[in-house]
Structure 1
Amino acid sequence: MNYLQQIRAFDDYRLYEQKLSAGQVSLWYTLMSINNKTAWSTWFTAANATLESLSGLSRSGIVKNRNVLKQLGLIDFSSNGRKATSYRVSVLYTSDSAQGSVQRSTQSSAQHSVQRSTQHSSTLNKQNETKQNEINNDEADAGVTRGDVIDKWTSLWGFPNAIATPEINEWLDVLPADVVDFAITIAGEHQVKATGSLKYMRAVIEGWQKRDISTLDQAKKAAEEHDQRMKSERSGSTPARAKETLPDWAQTGATPTATRTELTPDQQAEISARIARLQQNGESRQEATT
């Protein structure tokens, strides 16, 4: 299965054929994600607990929404008693390989659903032929396609799950593919883990949208300014230490010298006279006590 063509066909189905609830969309993307992990097996099994965890739906919500998806011909499923339920995701786009898959599947118990899905797909492709040509031409001009974006995401964090895929499609609807591709590149350069990839991408994309950034050149300039600002903040966070120098007298090998004041001859004579008087007074007191 070509997952990019499948997702495009599903988006077109929702736009032109049938409006789906959020629960139905989430369940479909969840089954697509599981199907991808099975290397696109025609039939695969999925436990209800797994579907609940990935889709965010309750057990009753899964039962209700999968019945609607089956009635619309988008999926088929078969109960296996107490074992995990078997599912098949209908191919929504037309190609040689897809038609072969449909022909084989008509031999199974899901014949009516597959034929109806094929009819929906054929009508849908006719209605959107012009639109798809315009999208393909735009992507060719940009040099980066939706497929490139999905491939880069997959190479970094694995195939986008049922939560990430709708958001990626929304980003690609409002921004050129090369801008979204550049945002993924930035996340890769910052070694963002798979668990934080969606949160990081949301912050980058929302930040650009608030600043009306819609071209690759604008995105590159914004990223460069951000890096320079962060570098400046990091360098300014640690104050420069002043170089301390010791005074001359504290340098190794230096000998401190006392400060001396030179006396004039008169001052020296006065001091000598005071000393003489003190000595004379001292001798007089000593004689008086003897």
Structure 2
Amino acid sequence: MNYLKELNAFHDQVDMDSLSPSAITLWLTLMQLNNKTGWKKEFTLPASVVLGKSSLPETSFKRARKELKEKGYIRYTSLGRNKAPVYEMISRVIEPQVNEVAAPQADGQTDHSMDESTDALFKRNEMKRKETDEEGASPSNPHEFYQRNIGILSPFIAERITHWCEEMSDELVIEAMQRALKHNKRFFQYCEGILNRWQSLGVKSLHEARSEKLESRSKVRQKAEHGQSKEEFNDIFEELRRERNV
């Protein structure tokens, strides 16, 4: 299996299949563990290992495993009590089909136009594979970005990421996580702090978040808030002065 291709294919399919956050977390965890086994077709994993890596409660883990099996993402076979089940990851990658080159013509001459079209097809497929790998280096899915760069995606964090994607956008959530990593703050609360600030400043796009005008907008707001509090303080001081003079 190609890890990056499988991740991209998985996230392309998730929305259509309406996978639950627990099922997404479990699939990502199983992929990570399967990667450590060297991509064995079938591998055994004790439930305790999966629970520890995914941080899922046991009931959520069982429901998620059943969901993944029913929707064709995994196969697993129970070997009985006190024995680790056998898992198999089902590939979601659809490889392009290449037609066979036509046989030589009756006069013994090869159809060069067919050879040329086949070569062009191979080149296009190779370019697509490179583009997929390059895109995989910087995931466009916030859940995948968190899983690959920050840590195991727990159901709670998955729900918070989904919430902020709906409130802001996928691009802004990833941008917030990138800034958290830049400052070595590997926890989502820091990302939420950035998103809260952007939301309060009315940021709607990645361009606005990266704009220098955002800093000036923040300073204007802070100055306005400071000026308001100073005015309130002066009003209170003036009132106390009048009371003293009465």
Q: Which residue of 1 aligns with 2:152?
A: 161
Q: Which residue of 1 aligns with 2:193?
A: 203
Secondary structure at 2:85's aligned position in 1? Answer: strand
Q: Aligned in 2, Cα 1:223/1:187: closer, same or farther, shift over 3 Å?
A: farther
CA deviation profile, 1:111-155 (whole Å, cap 9, x unmatched): xxxxxxxxxxxxxxxxxxxxxxxxx9xxx9xxx956414798688
Correspondence 1:64-79 to 2 at 5 A: 64-79=63-78
Task: Tell whether the 8 Å contact from 2:76 to 2:86 is kept in structure 1 after alignment.
Answer: yes
User: What is the letter of the counterpart of residue 169 of structure 2?
Assistant: L
Aligned counterparts of 2:146 and 2:180: Cα–Cα separation in 1:
10
Correspondence 1:138-217 to 2 at 5 A: 147-149=137-139, 157=150, 160-163=151-154, 175=169, 177=171, 179-180=172-173, 182-192=175-185, 194=186, 196=187, 198-217=188-207
Aligned counterparts of 1:58 and 1:161: Cα–Cα separation in 2:
14
Unaligned runs of 5+ in 2: 97-127, 221-246
Q: Aligned in 2, Cα 1:175/1:217: closer, same or farther, shift over 3 Å?
A: same
Aligned counterparts of 1:172 and 1:147: Cα–Cα separation in 2:
21
CA deviation profile, 1:23-59 (whole Å, cap 9, x unmatched): 4333323323333444544333332123333444443
1:219 has 2:212 as partner: no
Unaligned runs of 5+ in 1: 97-135, 230-290
Task: Tell whether the 8 Å contact from 1:187 to 1:200 is kept in structure 2 after alignment.
Answer: yes
Question: How much does 1:226 deviate?
Answer: 9.8
CA deviation profile, 1:2-35 (whole Å, cap 9, x unmatched): 445434443443433x434444333323323333
Aligned counterparts of 2:199 and 2:215: Cα–Cα separation in 1:
17
User: What is the letter of the counterpart of residue 6 of structure 2?
Assistant: Q
Secondary structure at 2:153's aligned position in 1? Answer: coil
Aligned counterparts of 1:71 and 1:34: Cα–Cα separation in 2:
21
User: Structure with the greater relative contact order (CA < 8 A, sep ≥ 6): 1 or 2?
Assistant: 2
Secondary structure at 1:84's aligned position in 2? Answer: coil
Task: Tell whether the 8 Å contact from 1:176 to 1:215 is kept in structure 2 after alignment.
Answer: no
Question: How much does 1:94 deviate?
Answer: 0.7
Q: Which residue of 2 aligns with 1:279?
A: none
Aligned counterparts of 1:66 and 1:161: Cα–Cα separation in 2:
17
Secondary structure at 1:88's aligned position in 2? Answer: strand
- RMSD over aligned Cα, in angstroms? 4.4
Q: Aligned in 2, Cα 1:201/1:45: closer, same or farther, shift over 3 Å?
A: farther
Aligned counterparts of 1:94 and 1:191: Cα–Cα separation in 2:
37
Aligned counterparts of 1:170 and 1:20: Cα–Cα separation in 2:
16
Query: Equivalent pairs: percent with the same residue?
Result: 25
User: What is the letter of the counterpart of residue 34 of structure 2?
Assistant: N
User: What is the letter of the counterpart of residue 175 of structure 1?
Assistant: S
- Count matched residues: 179
Q: Which residue of 1 aligns with 2:93?
A: 93
Aligned counterparts of 2:95 and 2:162: Cα–Cα separation in 1:
22
Q: Which residue of 2 aligns with 1:272?
A: none
Larger radius of gyration: 1
Secondary structure at 2:61's aligned position in 1? Answer: helix
Q: Aligned in 2, Cα 1:88/1:205: closer, same or farther, shift over 3 Å?
A: farther
Aligned counterparts of 1:39 and 1:168: Cα–Cα separation in 2:
30
